[in-house]
Structure 1
Amino acid sequence: MLSLLQNEIQLRICEESIPRILHCLDLLSDEEVWFKPNQNCNTVGNLILHLNGNCRQWLLFNLLEIKFQRKRQDEFESRTYSKKDLIEILEGLRSDISANCHRVTEKDLGLEFEIQGINTTGLGIVVHVIEHFSYHTGQIALLTKLIKNQDLGFYGDNTKLDCQ
């Protein structure tokens, strides 16, 4: 069961969400990465910085004890990163997750943590990080579709699925 969970971390974040975000970045210009439709929305760049900070704080720092100093507010205010910088941040995160997700143990899943004022378990951390990553990946995809007015091709030709 534990290896299934470790595989889900790898699959959902490293093989699904990060490649989708990288695809969006490939379609966007440096200027479009920082496009903000209104004051209540985030930019693609800020969402990437936020995903990096959240994943490193929750999963890598708290659960796997890999040092990280987070400045959460900077994730939403910064506009100083190039598209290339953001790609390097995502690739570094993917590398760190891939290199360490196998270290999650059954004991870790039952441990209790307090993160950002939230009481959770190790399992709660894993669930939070996967769903949080997916949530913001969807926002990045939507922003990219709004900016570029094109299908992102995440599902190829699988438009007709047999769900009987």
Structure 2
Amino acid sequence: MITESLKSLFTRDLNKLKSEIESYQNEACLWKIDKNILNSSGNLCLHLVGNLNHFVGAILGNSGYVRNRDLEFSLKDIPRAELIKKIEETLHIVTSTLDKLSKEDLEKEYPIEPLGYTMTTEYFLIHLLGHLDYHLGQINYHRRLLDAE
């Protein structure tokens, strides 16, 4: 079933996010911006964690998570260890929520329209995976361009 594939891919990519954050040689560079790079890796990490905790954890899993999207981009200098902990907690929320979804749940309309149109839950979960990967690529480039040795 697609749920197992989604769990595998979210696990792979959230672990890759963790690895990228851990790979910064200079922790302060997680928060660096430069020229046209307006979002730091730290803020993109917070954004990904907030996004998945909201759209998967709260909406599908009734986790009670309350998102503050503005803070995802305005908070600064969160310790690396705290970012790692947030990623690990998000991975747990995502996989435990996916474990509870049936084939019928995936075929139902997603409860809200974050993209401005109706879609199935399965479709939106695939979208969320693409969103994670888009920003994961940005974080990889950010690290390679702006991490001081």
Normalised by the size of structure 2, how large is the TM-score?
Answer: 0.86
Of residues 36, 58, 82, the one that matches 2:55 is 58
**Which residue is equivalent to 1:18?**
14
Matching residue's letter, 1:127? I
For the pair 1:77 / 2:74, whether they are aligned, the reply is yes
**Which residue is equivalent to 1:139?**
138
User: Between Structure 1 and Structure 2, whose CA radius of gyration is higher?
Assistant: 1
CA-based RMSD: 2.0
- Within a 5 Å distance, the mapping from 1:1-164 to structure 2 comes to 3=1, 5-14=2-11, 16-28=12-24, 29-38=26-35, 41-112=38-109, 113-116=111-114, 118-119=116-117, 120-148=119-147
Task: Please say if residues 29 and 147 of structure 2, whose CA atoms lie closer than 8 Å, have aligned partners that are also in contact.
Answer: no
Alpha-carbon offset, residue 57 of structure 1: 1.4
SS at match of 1:68: coil
Alpha-carbon offset, residue 45 of structure 1: 0.6
Alpha-carbon offset, residue 139 of structure 1: 0.8
Task: Please say if residues 3 and 98 of structure 2, whose CA atoms lie closer than 8 Å, have aligned partners that are also in contact.
Answer: yes
Larger deviation, residues 92-101 vs 80-89: 92-101
Alpha-carbon offset, residue 149 of structure 1: 8.6
Matching residue's letter, 2:126? V
Larger deviation, residues 115-124 vs 58-67: 115-124
Taking only the aligned residue pairs, the percentage that are identical comes to 21
Deviations 1:112-141 (A, max 9, x none): 232446333211221111111111111111
With over 3 angstroms needed to count, the CA separation of the structure-2 counterparts of 1:21 and 1:117, relative to structure 1, is: closer
Structure 1 segments, 4+ long, off by >3 Å, are: none
Task: Please say if residues 108 and 121 of structure 2, whose CA atoms lie closer than 8 Å, have aligned partners that are also in contact.
Answer: yes
CA distance in 1, matches of 2:98, 2:16: 20
Alpha-carbon offset, residue 87 of structure 1: 0.5
SS at match of 2:112: strand
Task: Please say if residues 61 and 67 of structure 1, whose CA atoms lie closer than 8 Å, have aligned partners that are also in contact.
Answer: yes
With over 3 angstroms needed to count, the CA separation of the structure-2 counterparts of 1:19 and 1:117, relative to structure 1, is: closer
- Identify unmatched segments of 5+ residues in structure 1: 151-164
Structure with more strand by fraction: 1
Normalised by the size of structure 1, how large is the TM-score?
Answer: 0.79
